[in-house]
Amino acid sequence: MTTSTQTGSTQTGNIQKTNSFDQKTDRLDRVLRPKSIAFFGGKEAAEAIRQSKRMGYEGEIWPVHPTKLEMHGYPCFRTIEDLPAPPDAAFLGVNRYLTIDIVKTLSQVGAGGVVCYASGFLEADSETGEGASLQTRLIEAAGDMPLIGPNCYGVINYLDGALLWPDQNGGKAVDKGVAILTQSSNMAMNMTMQKRGLPISYMLAVGNQAQTGLSELTSAIMDDPRVTAIGLHIEGIDNLQAFESMAQKAREKKIPVVVLKMGKSDAAQALTMSHTASLAGKDALADAFFKRLGLARLDTIPAFLESLKLLHIHGPLSGRSICSMSCSGGEASLLADCAEGRNIDFRPLTEPERQRVKATLSDLVTVANPLDYHTFIWGNEQASTKTFTAMMECGFDLSLLVIDFPRLDRCHDREWQAAVKALVTASNQTGQKAAILATVPENCPEEHAQDLIEQGIVPFHGTDEAFDAMEAAAFIAEAWNRPAAAPLHPVTSLAQSKIDGTHLLNENEAKSLLAAYGLPLPSRAIVTSKEETQRQADMIGYPLVLKLVSDEVAHKSDIGGVAVNLKTPSELLDAYDQMAHLGSHFLIETMIDDGVAELIVGINRDPQFGLHLVIGAGGILVDLLKDSQTLLLPTSPQEIRHALSSLKTAQLLTGYRNRPLADIEGAIKAIQAVADYALSTAETLQELDVNPLIVREQGKGAIAVDALIRCQINIEERL
């Protein structure tokens, strides 16, 4: 065998490529869809061979061991050089030192890729630095050959029966299904053991991601047309740009992606001078990143699996309107309660719709959505079909039938199966998407779930999980219908050697800079004496606000440096006298007292995500409600509008309790001005607060009445 002869083949089938990012992921075809696999090691390698054999793998299996004669009926080769061809994939179940040597040789002979099971690399680094050193050597040994791991279980391909996997798994061969990628091998194995009927096409546990990251692997998985949806369980984002490219590819190929992101309980980032820093912790930034890319985030493994199941069968939902049908008022009430506070719509039936459904039921039934059709038609397939069809003809985005199946070891399910057949028929006749919901998850056994999936019906396990899944599927469709977000602004900062701390601009300086970008401000003037204060007041007009001007005090009201609603000259001059001891310069400006709502608009810097925009309930509500939305930059008016509508206090902008409608367009323009300023000063801006931004009645715009800017200082500029 020589490095110039590579007879190992690449299995691609009908694989289709779409964008430039695929040039990097092409190299993963062989290791993900291998026609030949070499297995190195003892117990772990033998188990991986057994698993591939059990799954019906039809490719070449080549065990490599210095002393064993065979593994599970396959003759062992002594060395890599003895192999008949460079393997498409290799599983390495050997110690970390031998792993490096084998990886180097496999790379030299032209193998397609390796899974490194061994631990003791960077994840186990000690004060000696040996783990980090070994990981560097491992990456160098691999060269251009794809390397998955180390410290991982590896790859399960249930479509082709190829398992580079050293342990048991609960999956089975499938013709199509969802792909799941995770950084945790144990969680990966656990998810293969699910009994929810979810067909899994690929399961990848990627470990350290020393060379090949989750983003690149996910993109490569998308090239297989048998993959219907993708689930990512991640502890950290490997590369922002690669992740963006992966998400764009998913959008182009219409492959829905859901994310289970760990880290919500991490300690919040250290507070800085601004209020917004406390509103946007690291997890909020990750959440904003996923929303920006159209990836639906879930909080629990059951919701994650149920979402993948819905997306596998029906794909993203075109809207959020659903109906529910059950033969119990208790179940109808349960679903109605579960929908409370969620972005799911049990829309009422119109009168013609209600009459159409009512015509199929007893006069004793009250027709509504959710529908309790009582037990009058229970077990009657023909009657149930008429009711379900009439309900589904109303055109909901998803129709639910609530059924908890009985235990077959003690009961029969004839009536339940009649209801299932009726739903399948109604779905086929109307062309509408349907699901069966078991309120107790174990009351939908795996065999029932698999049968329902084959008939195009989603078998939901658990009420909350079902609603999580519906919200996720609707969110993805909405994201795909919006223009794709622009690439994130590059994360920039001054070289550390040139940083000499940060500088707080005084309020007037901050406002002047922001005004240049279109942020509306009150009429204002700087004054240094009582006489000048009186003169400027006469020009501006009452009522007024008087503030201390200082580049050392971030929150002036805390030290008595702000006086508001000064209606007369005497009130103004008294206020001046009371704060004269605080400084020599003061800001006098128009009092804005006709606001409909108050917002906080801020900018903060993160080492990974860079500058980001925070929008929230402002004024005194900042610390009380902590109601905010985070957007990464650059942003757009559409994204700002959506963030505003997502606030808990959004009703204050839309005429809550007969209040005037707020000038939302004016608020959007003001917020966009802040974002534009931030992007133009990205290399030096540390943080920014506009609090409050007073949103006035429709047609009157929004005005920033306070502003804080902290920027980094360049030593060279200071000199």
- The predicted pLDDT at position 24 comes to 55
Answer yes or no: is 500 within a domain: no
Answer yes or no: is 474 within a domain: yes
- Is there a single domain that holds both residue 70 and residue 212? yes
Count of Cβ atoms closer than 10 Å to residue 136 Cβ? 14
Q: Are 425 and 385 in contact (CB under 8 A)?
A: yes
Assigned token pair, 698? 């429709």
- The predicted pLDDT at position 556 comes to 85
- What is the rounded CA–CA span in Å between residue 673 and residue 680? 11
- Is there a single domain that holds both residue 551 and residue 657? no
Q: What is the separation of C-alpha 83 from the centre of its chain, rounded to a whole number of angstroms? A: 44
What pTM value is reported for the model? 0.89
Reply yes or no on whether the pLDDT at 276 is more than 90: no
- Is there a single domain that holds both residue 221 and residue 353? no
Answer yes or no: is 495 within a domain: no
Q: What is the CATH number of the domain that holds 709?
A: 3.30.470.20
Answer yes or no: is 512 within a domain: no
Q: What is the CATH number of the domain that holds 218?
A: 3.40.50.720
Least Cα distance to 141 among 110, 106, 91, 113 occurs for 106
Give the CA-trace dihedral at 413, 418, 424, 429, to 10 degrees.
Answer: 180
Instruction: Verify cis geometry, omega within 30 degrees of 0, for the bond prior to 150.
Output: yes
* Distance (Å) of CA 691 to CA 38, 619, 641, 643, 671: 62, 6, 18, 17, 12
Reply yes or no on whether the pLDDT at 211 is more than 50: yes
- Is there a single domain that holds both residue 465 and residue 538? no
Answer yes or no: is 576 within a domain: yes
Q: What is the CATH number of the domain that holds 560?
A: 3.30.1490.20
Q: Are 686 and 510 in contact (CB under 8 A)?
A: no
Task: Point out which residues pair with 230 in neighbouring strands.
Answer: 179, 257
Mean pLDDT of the chain, nearest integer: 90
- Is there a single domain that holds both residue 533 and residue 476? no
Count structural domains, the chain. Answer: 4
- What is the rounded CA–CA span in Å between residue 324 and residue 332? 7
- Is there a single domain that holds both residue 599 and residue 582? no
- Is there a single domain that holds both residue 51 and residue 158? yes
Domain residues for the domain of 107 are 22-262
- What is the rounded CA–CA span in Å between residue 548 and residue 585? 6
Q: Are 239 and 652 in contact (CB under 8 A)?
A: no
- The predicted pLDDT at position 714 comes to 56
- Is there a single domain that holds both residue 435 and residue 474? yes
Task: Point out which residues pair with 434 in neighbouring strands.
Answer: 399
- What is the rounded CA–CA span in Å between residue 564 and residue 571? 10
Burial class from Cβ neighbours inside 10 Å (0-12, 13-18, 19+) for residue 345 reads: middle
Answer yes or no: is 106 within a domain: yes
Could you say which of 540, 570, 590 is where a domain stops? 590
Main-chain dihedrals φ then ψ at residue 448, nearest 5 degrees: -65, -45
- The predicted pLDDT at position 15 comes to 39
How confident is the model over 657-699, as pLDDT tens digits? 888 999 999 999 999 999 999 999 999 999 999 999 999 999 9
- Is there a single domain that holds both residue 580 and residue 632? no
* Distance (Å) of CA 61 to CA 36, 38, 130, 625: 6, 6, 34, 60
Q: What is the separation of C-alpha 527 from the centre of its chain, rounded to a whole number of angstroms? A: 50
- The predicted pLDDT at position 262 comes to 77
Q: Are 635 and 600 in contact (CB under 8 A)?
A: no
How confident is the model over 31-63, as pLDDT tens digits? 999 999 999 999 999 999 999 999 999 999 999
- Is there a single domain that holds both residue 156 and residue 199? yes
Could you say which of 449, 481, 513 is where a domain stops? 481
- Is there a single domain that holds both residue 168 and residue 28? yes
- Is there a single domain that holds both residue 577 and residue 693? no
- What is the rounded CA–CA span in Å between residue 709 and residue 578? 26
Q: Are 476 and 296 in contact (CB under 8 A)?
A: yes
Reply yes or no on whether the pLDDT at 259 is more than 70: yes
Could you say which of 262, 295, 330 is where a domain stops? 262
